[in-house]
Amino acid sequence: MLDLAELTWGRYNGGSVAPIGSYWCPRNNAIQQLTSDGTLAQDGTWCRVDPSGTQTFANIAATINGVLGTTYTSGSFHAQGSGDVLANPGQAADDA
């Protein structure tokens, strides 16, 4: 699943500067939305699932389900918060 997500939407490591968009962290189902270029939280691997920084979680779920064949709903996700941040984020070697 992670490989398909990365091939489809690209891979951004936590702490990377990323363009505007909605980003999904498969490790914890967090969503981080950037309305201007910004730094992604140190949560692990992020995938840019939508170019809009204001997309609804329901639409993000539909996008992910359509590609990965999952059954996520808007309630499957949460907005990224400080509790999601990894104490030791690893070396970006398939750390998701």
C-alpha–C-alpha distance, residues 11 and 48, integer Å = 8
SS3 90: coil
User: What local confidence, expressed as pLDDT, does residue 35 receive?
Assistant: 97
Would 85 be classed as within a structural domain? no
Q: How confident is the model over 57-75, as pLDDT tens digits? A: 999 999 999 999 999 999 9
Total tally of structural domains belonging to the chain: 1
User: What local confidence, expressed as pLDDT, does residue 61 receive?
Assistant: 98
Q: Which residues in the chain show pLDDT less than 70?
A: 87-96
Would 81 be classed as within a structural domain? no
Would 41 be classed as within a structural domain? yes
Would 89 be classed as within a structural domain? no
Would 46 be classed as within a structural domain? yes
C-alpha–C-alpha distance, residues 88 and 96, integer Å = 12
Would 64 be classed as within a structural domain? yes
C-alpha–C-alpha distance, residues 7 and 48, integer Å = 11
User: What local confidence, expressed as pLDDT, does residue 93 receive?
Assistant: 53
Would 22 be classed as within a structural domain? yes
With pLDDT > 90 as the criterion, what percentage of the chain qualifies? 74
User: What local confidence, expressed as pLDDT, does residue 91 receive?
Assistant: 56
